[in-house]
Amino acid sequence: MPVYLDSRDAGFETAFRDLLNAKREDAVDVDDTVAAIIADVRARGDAAVIDLTAKFDKLDLTPDTLAFSRDEIDAECARVPDVERAALELAAARIRAYHDRQRPTDMRWTDDSGAELGWRWGPVAAAGLYVPGGLASYPSSVLMNAIPAQVAGVQRLVMCAPTPAGKVNPLVLLAAKLSGVETVYRIGGAQAIAAMAYGTQNIAPVDKITGPGNAFVAAAKRRVFGRVGIDMIAGPSEILVIADGQSDPDWIALDLLSQAEHDESAQSILITTDAEFGKSVAQAVDKRLETLERRAIAGASWRDYGAIITVRDLAEAAALSDRIAPEHLELCVADADALLAQITHAGAVFLGHWTPEAIGDYIGGPNHVLPTARSARFSSGLSVLDFMKRTTLARMTPAALAVIGPAAEQLAMSESLEAHGLSVRARLDRLNR
């Protein structure tokens, strides 16, 4: 049974805070285990990765079979039915077209002092993508992680996609091929993250690691951050739908369930100005749960973390949405753009009755790797910029240094950093000869 809240009720604020503070993340403490795995990989390299893969994935590998061969990849890709290949190719093209527009531009200018300033952008040299393994792995996540890296100009792009008991998802390998992934390793878990971060005899280290994973993968990403860059530590999926009562209740029910079916810890919330509409959506959810393939997962998510909130008006809905800062936000209202103007914090926004969040997961174009657990308040979804670095540029002419150098010298003296000030003064003195 989801939580029902009404902003008019006296206890609403307390109940809403409880909803915001509900802990949905996996509470299992795996950090000690992960630390040991990382240390083992750093010490023994390939041998540790091979031993851990045999232990956790029941798959025997050798240094020569850590990665799929080109022939193996081609053979698996050939198994993909034409209709699935066409859908994946369309998704790849749309994702690429969207991310092409994100490429930043270099800039240089001369300011009033005569100093030349600017910046330039460049890609990281190597990036590693992690993909959860087995037949349940998601080819859409490969596209969403790899294509922005390729658009950014990353020179070497590799992927770790575990294959428990040797089970391979051909669509994942096809997605990798379409996205410019150079090498696909059949390893997973914390050992894969460690191998990409520190390198082994046969796995070269990368500069940035992206992609979702279980608690062990998340803990490993936390531990290697600083040695390499990471995208984010993502929590359970979430969706907030704001509806004015003019939508089809069944549509909204399916949108809520589209996230609930991901994980028993996922969260689906409806905010509406129409209490009766909220009840109709709840009934539609119950009806769909009778037949949904993943009803056990979706049902648990809706029961434990689902919520229907009735508000006075859409302005109040917008204010509550910003406090939730949802990963996915659907605006199923008559004037979605007007409501959007009142909202600041959301990972991705889907405008209007005809834009289900699921379009964004696959083929809309924007990235589906998004901030969760209210982190949309301060972070953004994955983009081309995540695989690029900005380097600042500055050039002083003698005249420019004469104008601004004395202030730099004074500030250095104020901070008791003598050599800083002297490095400027030496040049100024040369100008005065």
Residues marked as catalytic: 327-328
CB count within 10 Å of CB 223 equals 18
Order of all β-strands in the sheet with 107-110: 107-110, 116-123, 388-395
Six-digit token string for 174: 């096809």
Contact (Cβ atoms closer than 8 angstroms) between residue 253 and residue 285: yes
- DSSP label at residue 65: G
Residue 143, CA distances (Å) to 76, 231, 361, 383 in order: 17, 15, 11, 12
- Cβ neighbours of 135 (radius 10 Å): 12
Q: Strand order of the sheet with strand 208-210?
A: 183-185, 156-160, 126-130, 208-210, 229-230
Q: What is the CA radius of gyration of the chain?
A: 26
CA angle 307-311-316, nearest 5°? Answer: 110
The letter for the amino acid at 111 is D
Rounded CA-CA distance 315/409 in Å is: 52
